[in-house]
Each structure stands twice: as structure tokens, then as C-alpha cells.
Amino acid sequence: MQINGKTIIHGIIGNPVSHSLSPAMHNSAFAALNLNAAYVPFPVTDVASAMTGLRALGIRGVSVTIPHKQAVIDHLDDIDPVAAKIGAVNTLCIKNGRITGHNTDWIGANRALAEKIPLSGKKVLILGAGGSARAIGFGLLEAGAQILLASRTPQKGRQLATTLSCPWYPLDAIPQLTADCLVNATSVGMAPHTDTSLVGRKNLSRFAVVMDIVYAPLSTKLLSEAAEEGCQVVNGLAMLLYQGAAQFKLWTGEEAPVDVMRESLISSLSAR
């Protein structure tokens, strides 16, 4: 794509952003649809100034990553109701100098799971009580699922469970819990600690679907054992891809070319 005077700029703010897979993913999507648009990384420490800059420069769409997903909220003109409930924003849409915040992480997680199982009325055990568990939990409630939460640190876990109006369990209770789906929303299993999993192999066959949001590696110990035990498995790339597809739709109004974006993510990950 040739950058010219009409190119519409998008980007990602965070710190750091140099590791992000989003520039390659979104630029591949713009190219596939022949859109005169580009997506660039913006390493940001001062959120207030960055938000002023986005407005002033007429940037169209921005992803927000760690550590700014909460801090941007104070600088928005509008916020999507689910993003407000989650209390975290990963997407900014900027129009006529007004910034609206959205959260597409939950949309990505729901779409990834819903490819395997309809979520309404289903029971989902979420592992973890961090930012992703929170977004996924609210998203599953939006989809009409019933949630159970299990995590390591009791106070933090109980607090999130209260917010989600769901029961909380310590990790050693997992062998006694049953659900239709299991979602690992912790970093356990991520490289370089790839030989770790929070759920023993013998406890996996009771879940019809097992999703791991860790995407490095793509096949975690949890997912490879779950597949061997006959579960349907969903890797972390699916959530990453579909949260990006939802951003693309918000920014351009076009359906995202998910096959192109998936290929971009796979080639970025395999080049690491």
C-alpha cells in the first residue's frame, strides 16, 4: 500500500508495543480490502497527552494495550456500555475529535468459544482473576452463560466473583467442578514455562470445550492434553483474531477478512 495524503491512520498505544502482533494483522487486512489505511505502533507513557494527540491528529482507530486499558477511560468522550461494566477499554474510535472507548476482548473470546458451542445457558469455568478473566466473564454473562471462577489469590478471586455474581473456588477445588467449557485466562502454560497446566489431564474429559487464551505457544500443555482426552479445543489465537476483527469492523464498517488476518498472526508468531 502506498501511503499518500488520504491515508487513514490507525495504531496501538501501550508500553511496550514493539512486540505487538496487531500492526501486521491490521495492515494485512487493510491491504486485502484495498483500503487506503495504515496501522502503526505508538509507544506511550503519558496517556493524557496521547489522547489529546490522537484527537488533534485525526487518527481514526486505536488499539489500547497494557498498561493503559483502564487509564484511557478518564479521557474518553463516550464509552460502550459493556466496556464500562468491564472497566477496561482496548479499542478507541475517533470521529470529529470525539473518542469512544470499546472493549473487543470479550467479543473475541465469545466468538472463539461460540464456534464450538452455543453459549446461552452453558456453564463455563474460568481460571484466573486478572484483566482477561474479567473481560471474558462479563462477555459470557452478556451471552447468557453461567460462570464459575477459580483462581490462585483468594481475595482477588473473590472480588471478581462478587463483581460477576458467580461462585469462586480455589485452584485445588478444580477436580470437583463440572462445566460445559473450561477457559484458561491465566498466563500458566505460556513460554518459557510450557510444561505447566492448572488442570490435571484426568480432570479434562468432563469439559466439552477447552479454551486457552495463551497464544505462545499455540498448543499449550492444557490444550494438547484436552485434545487427547477428546475435548474440542480453542487456542489463544482465535480470541486475538476475533477481537481484532471486531476492531476492524468498528473502524472501517467493513467485515474483517479473518482468513488473511489469521495467516498474518500465524506467520508473525512462527517468525518469533
Residues 164 and 220: beta-carbon distance below 8 Å: no
Regarding 126 and contact with ligand NAP (CB under 6 A), the answer is no
In the numeric block, the cell 505457544 is attached to 217
C-alpha cell at 169: 473456588
Within residues 183-212, the interface with ligand NAP by CB under 6 A covers 185-188, 190
How many residues touch ligand NAP (CB under 6 A)?
25
With contacts defined by CB under 6 A, name the span among 35-43, 78-86, 181-189, 218-226 that binds ligand NAP: 181-189
Regarding 243 and contact with ligand NAP (CB under 6 A), the answer is yes
Measure the CA–CA gap between 143 and 159, rounded to whole angstroms: 22
Residue 255 DSSP code: P
Residues 209 and 187: beta-carbon distance below 8 Å: no
User: No. of H helices and E strands in the chain?
Assistant: 9, 12
With contacts defined by CB under 6 A, name the span among 12-20, 22-30, 126-134, 175-183 that binds ligand NAP: 126-134
Q: What are phi and psi of 204, to 5 degrees?
A: -90, -30
Q: Which of 47, 236, 245, 261 binds ligand NAP (CB under 6 A)?
A: 236
Q: Is 116 a catalytic residue?
A: no
Looking at beta carbons only, is 82 or 190 nearer to ligand NAP?
Answer: 190
Measure the CA–CA gap between 1 and 194, rounded to whole angstroms: 38
**Chain centroid, CA 95 distance in Å:** 24
Regarding 128 and contact with ligand NAP (CB under 6 A), the answer is yes
Within residues 57-116, the interface with ligand NAP by CB under 6 A covers 105, 108
Looking at beta carbons only, is 186 or 264 nearer to ligand NAP?
Answer: 186
Looking at beta carbons only, is 13 or 240 nearer to ligand NAP?
Answer: 240
Catalytic-labelled residue, pool 69, 85, 122, 221: 69
Query: Which residues is 6 bridged to in the sheet?
Result: none
Catalytic residue annotation: 69
